[in-house]
Amino acid sequence: MDIGTADVMEYALNSVSWVTKATVNERTGNAVVLFEADRRDEVLGSIGTLDPAAVNMDELPAGKGRELKREFEEKLCLLVTKRIAKKLFLPLSVRAVITAVNSVPYMVEAAKSISRRKIEVSILDAASILVSMLLGDFETASSVMFLLKVGDIMDDWTHTKSVNDLAEAMSLNVDKVWTRANDGQEVLVSVGAVGKDDIMIVRTGSVIPLDGKVIEGECSVNQASMTGESVPVKKHAGDPVYSGTVVEEGELVAMVTNVAGTGRYDRIVSMIEESEKLKSEAEVKASKLADRLVPYTFGATLLTYILTRNVRRAASILMVDFCCALKLSMPIAFLSAMREAGDRHISVKGGKFLEAVADADTIVFDKTGTLTHAQPTVKDIVPFTKQDPMELLRLAACLEEHYPHSIANAVVRKAEEEGLLHEERHSEVEYVVAHGIVSSVDGHRVLLGSYHFVFEDEGCRIPRGKNKLFGELPAEYSHLYMAIDGTLAAVILIEDPLRSEAHEVIEMLRDEGITKVVMMTGDSERTAASVARKVGVDDYYSEVLPEDKASFVKREHELGRKVIMVGDGINDSPALSEADVGIAISNGAAIAREIADITVAEDDLRGLVFLRRLSSALMERIHGNYRKIIGINSGLILLGAFGAMQSSTTSLLHNTSTILISSASMTDLLDE
C-alpha cells in the first residue's frame, strides 16, 4: 500500500460517523478501527464497500505526517544498521579511520563557534570526540558521534513534525465561497470550483479561502496566522489578500490569483520555521542552560586534570554533559503532549500555549456557543406587523447566511427546515461587529441584531399598540430583533440551552487550580444573570462589546494574573488575541478558530479539563526531567572525577540515560 492510498483509506474510515478512530499502516497494509459498541456488522459492511476513488482529494488534510514519519524512521534505521554492520564486519583499524573521517564535521562546527568567540555545545562535543581519539579510544568517540546523530535526527523530527502539525492546524478547511457570476448575482460555490481570475466576495468574520487581489471594498484583515501581526491590516482596491487570513471588519471583492491548494501550506511552514512560535519558555530555558553549562564542564575537566594529573579521569568528565539531554528531551515532551491533545481532537498551535494553560489562574468564558450549546435553534418568530412570519424568516435568513456565527446559522437552518428559498434580494450587506446587520431590500432599510443596536444605536420604534406584546416576550429565550424602515417588524426567539456539563466543568477547573471563573456575554442582564447563577461562575458581565472583553483581559494582566479566554464568535477574537492563551470552540466562527492558540473540536467542555490536566502533567514531566538530567549527570561526573569509572563507561551511561529520558518523554502523560 502506498502512502497516498493509506491517507485516503484512513480519511474515509474516519469520516464514518460511528467510527471513534481509525489508523492505517501502509507498511503492513492493515487498518485498526475503533468503533461504537454493537456496530461490528456495520463496520465490516462499510469496509467491504469502501471506495477510495470516491474520496474528494481536496478534502484530505494538508499535512504530510505519514511521509514525514517514514522519512525519519528510515534515517534512524539506516544509521543503526550502519553502526551494527561496521562493528560486525570491519576490523578495528578500519573503524578507527572511519571514526576520524566522521569527526571532521564536528571539528569544523567547533571551529566556527570559536571564531565567533562563543563557548557552545558544539565545542564540548568536538572536545569529547577529539580527546577520546587522542587517548586511542576510537570506540568511545564513535559512540559519542552515533548518539549525537541520533539526537540530531530526533531533534529534527520533533521540530519538523511540530511545524507540520501547526501548519495543518492553521490550514482551515473552507468548503464554500461566495462568488460573483457574470450577471452580477452572488453564488455560493465549492472552493474547488473557483478558478483563477474568478471574483470572490468575503465578509466580516469569514476566512479568505484563496489568494486574491482586492478590486472593490475596504476591510480590516487579520493576518496573524500568516505574518504574526497582531493588528489587523487595512485592505483597499489593488491590495493583495492571502488565503487563510480573516476579514475582521468590512467586506471585500477580490479577483482570485491562486486556486485551491497552491502555496498556503508551504507559506505557513516557511513562516513558522523563521519564528520562535513553537518554543515554550521551558524549551528556551533548556537550550540556554545547555550552552551556559559548557564552560563549567570544561572547568571541571581542567580542575580534575590539575588535581589528579590523570588524563583519563579528566576525559571521563568531558564525556558527560547536560546539553544533549536538555536539548533533546524538552521538545520531545512538548511534542508528545501536543500529540496526546490531538488524540482528543484538541489542536495546539505550539508548546508555549500548553505552558500557558498550566500557568493560568483565570478563565473567561463567552456564553453563546461556549457555556451554551454551539447549535442554538429558532424557537419562534413573533411578528409586530401584518407581514407573514415565514416571509420575515426568509428575509432574516437571506441576510444571516453571509455571516458565520451560531445565531446566524440557527436562522439559516430554520429557513431550510421550513423549505424557504432565501435568494439574494438585498443590494448590499453591512455587518456591524457585535451589533448586527444593515441591508437594503426592495428599497427598504432592514436592520437585524441586538436590542442595543436596533433600539439604542439606530433609534427604531415599536409599532403602536404592540408594547404589551413586546413586554410579554418570553424571558427564557435570546431575542434577535428585526426592524424595517425604523419600525420593529419581528423578534426571532432563539433557544440556546446550557451545556449539561457546564457547571461540573467549572467546578473541576477550580479543583485543577483555576481561582477565578468569569462569564462575558453580549446578552441582556436578565439572561446573563440567569446563566451565571446556573453554571456557578465567580463573576459575569452582560451587554459587553468585543473591546470590553479584551479590556477585561488587559486589566487581569495588570493585576498579575494569567488568563485563558474561551470563545467561539467574531465578538471574541480581540479577547482571544489578548489572552495568554485563547481557546476556540471549533464549530464557531472561522475568525475565532484562526486567531485562537488552541482549538477544541469535541462538543464537550470536559476537553478544557483534560487540557488543564495535560498541561499540568507536562510541566511536572519537564521539571522531573530537569531533576533526572542534573542528578544523573552530576553523579557520573563525580564518579569519573574520583576514578570510579572510566571515560568510556561514563559516556555510555550518560548517553543511555539521555535516550531513556527522551524515550520516557514520548509516553502519554494521562491515563484517561
361 and 503 inside one domain:
yes
Sign of the torsion formed by the C-alpha atoms of 34, 39, 41 and 43: negative
- DSSP strand E in 538-640: where? 539-541, 563-567, 581-585, 598-600
260 and 208 inside one domain:
yes
**Distance between CA atoms of residues 219 and 215, nearest Å:** 12
Residue 610 lies in a domain: no
User: What pTM was estimated for this model as a whole?
Assistant: 0.69
Mean pLDDT by 10 residues, the chain (672 residues): 82 80 87 84 78 63 68 89 92 93 93 86 85 87 84 73 60 71 81 84 82 88 61 84 79 83 53 53 69 80 85 79 75 82 81 91 89 82 92 88 75 89 65 72 86 88 92 83 94 87 95 95 80 92 85 93 86 82 74 75 86 95 90 86 78 81 86 69
Residue 153 lies in a domain: yes
CATH number at residue 443: 3.40.1110.10
- Taking a C-beta distance cutoff of 8 angstroms, is the pair 465, 490 a contact? no
- Taking a C-beta distance cutoff of 8 angstroms, is the pair 507, 538 a contact? no
SS3 (DSSP) at 504: helix
Per-residue pLDDT at 393? 92
Per-residue pLDDT at 169? 55
- CA proximity to 583, closest of 431, 387, 363, 415: 363
- Which residue among 217, 237, 265 closes a domain? 265
**Distance between CA atoms of residues 214 and 285, nearest Å:** 44
Q: Give the domain extent around 198.
A: 176-265
514 and 459 inside one domain:
no
- Which residue among 13, 30, 60 closes a domain? 60
Per-residue pLDDT at 158? 65
**Distance between CA atoms of residues 523 and 603, nearest Å:** 22
Per-residue pLDDT at 334? 83
392 and 490 inside one domain:
yes
β-strand partners of 252? 202
**Distance between CA atoms of residues 353 and 614, nearest Å:** 12
- Taking a C-beta distance cutoff of 8 angstroms, is the pair 177, 189 a contact? yes
206 and 158 inside one domain:
no
214 and 140 inside one domain:
no
Residue 527 lies in a domain: yes
CATH number at residue 573: 3.40.50.1000
506 and 565 inside one domain:
yes
Rounded to 5 degrees, φ, ψ at 541 are -135, 130
Per-residue pLDDT at 231? 64
Residue 562 lies in a domain: yes
Residue 586 lies in a domain: yes
159 and 299 inside one domain:
yes
Residue 609 lies in a domain: no
Per-residue pLDDT at 275? 47
Per-residue pLDDT at 561? 95
293 and 149 inside one domain:
yes
Residue 284 lies in a domain: yes
450 and 504 inside one domain:
no
Residue 429 lies in a domain: no
- CA proximity to 287, closest of 256, 319, 331: 331
Instruction: Give how many domains the chain has, as a whole number.
Output: 5
Per-residue pLDDT at 276? 47
590 and 447 inside one domain:
no
CATH number at residue 203: 2.70.150.10
How many CB atoms sit inside 10 A of residue 172's CB?
18
355 and 212 inside one domain:
no
**Distance between CA atoms of residues 132 and 524, nearest Å:** 75
Per-residue pLDDT at 303? 87
- Which residue among 550, 566, 601 closes a domain? 601
